[in-house]
Structure 1
Amino acid sequence: MARLCYGDMIKDGKFVINEKETQNIRGIFRNYLEGNSLIKSAELMGIKKNNSSVKRILTNKKYMGNENYPKIIDKESFDMAGQMIKDRAVAMGRVWKKREKEIEVPTEFLYEKGEVLPIDPFERARYQYSRIKVIDDE
């Protein structure tokens, strides 16, 4: 038997659902939507998983069903869980906003040739970079 992801497997060339794991998936969604943490949602189902593993379950679109995979979770529950994950990340400061300000990068440089370069490659690089001067157009 080959495993595709939690809740399913391929047996004798056919797609097979593991009913116990399917019930666990539904339970994880239910527990999370009731306000439990990611890990606690799995623990309440008797499953020991880390945050990222539980999050992967809660964000796996395949569980809503497709042409090859039966529906385990309804779209409303899936969307609510996804929104809760986003809301909690924002509340905990785990979402960074993209900076909108453009960074100005100088495009013209002047390299002042130095004398004898240091032997140590790190010192040589530090010395050579110290010789670069930005040409200021202003």
Structure 2
Amino acid sequence: MGHTPFGYKIENGIAVIDQPAADKLRQLYKNYLSGMSLSKAASAAGIKTYHGTAKRLMETAHYLGDSFYPAIIDKDTYQKAQEERKRRATALGRNNKQTQMRKLQIPTRFHMGEVAALYDNPVKQAEYLYSLIESESK
């Protein structure tokens, strides 16, 4: 069995609205649609969470109501929040962003200071020699 979404509680096997939590959810949507960031909207609504969790709360379709959960958010508000989230993500360049693997550039030439010490311990010698590297060039 999964977890009960924030805003609901189970009583006698039936999902019912947890009114104080539902009020916070409604305020989260209102705050977000008024222009606040997800984390600030959640915080101002009294929901202590992170950006990603606030996003998942806003994307929870159960809040529209279904065969088990009663509705907490009306369809219009839910839809506006989804459109606003997508709009902001696009404006910030987060949608359809393709990442490219960077080619690993291993320096093959470098400038090193004068070696003035020798150590019997090879690890200490290596640490010392690495500390003498002054600059790298490709």
Q: TM-score, normalised by structure 1?
A: 0.64
Report Cα offsets for 1:78-124 as digits up to 9, x if no partner: 111001111111111111267xxxxxxxxxxxxxxxxxxxxxxxxxx
Is the 1:3–1:9 contact (alpha carbons within 8 Å) kept by the matching residues of 2? no
Aligned to 1:7: 7
Aligned to 1:43: 43
**Matches of 1:43 and 1:57, distance apart in 2:** 13
Structure 1 portions without partners, runs of 5+: 99-138
Report Cα offsets for 1:16-52 as digits up to 9, x if no partner: 3211000001000000011110001111112211111
* Matched position secondary structure for 1:62: helix
Moved more, 65-74 or 34-43: 65-74
**Matches of 1:46 and 1:71, distance apart in 2:** 20
Structure 2 portions without partners, runs of 5+: 99-138
- Asked if 1:56 is matched to 2:25, the reply is no
Is the 1:3–1:10 contact (alpha carbons within 8 Å) kept by the matching residues of 2? no
Report Cα offsets for 1:52-79 as digits up to 9, x if no partner: 1111111111101112211111111111
Q: CA deviation at 1:3?
A: 4.8
Is the 1:9–1:16 contact (alpha carbons within 8 Å) kept by the matching residues of 2? yes
Alignment of 1:1-138 (within 5 A): 3-96=3-96
**Matched residues, percent identical?**
36
Q: Deviating runs (4+, > 3 A) in structure 1?
A: none
Aligned residues: 97
**Matches of 1:16 and 1:33, distance apart in 2:** 26
Q: TM-score, normalised by structure 2?
A: 0.64
**CA RMSD after TM alignment:** 1.7
Is the 2:15–2:70 contact (alpha carbons within 8 Å) kept by the matching residues of 1? no
Q: CA deviation at 1:13?
A: 2.4
Q: Which structure is higher in RCO with an 8 Å CA cutoff and minimum separation 6? A: 2
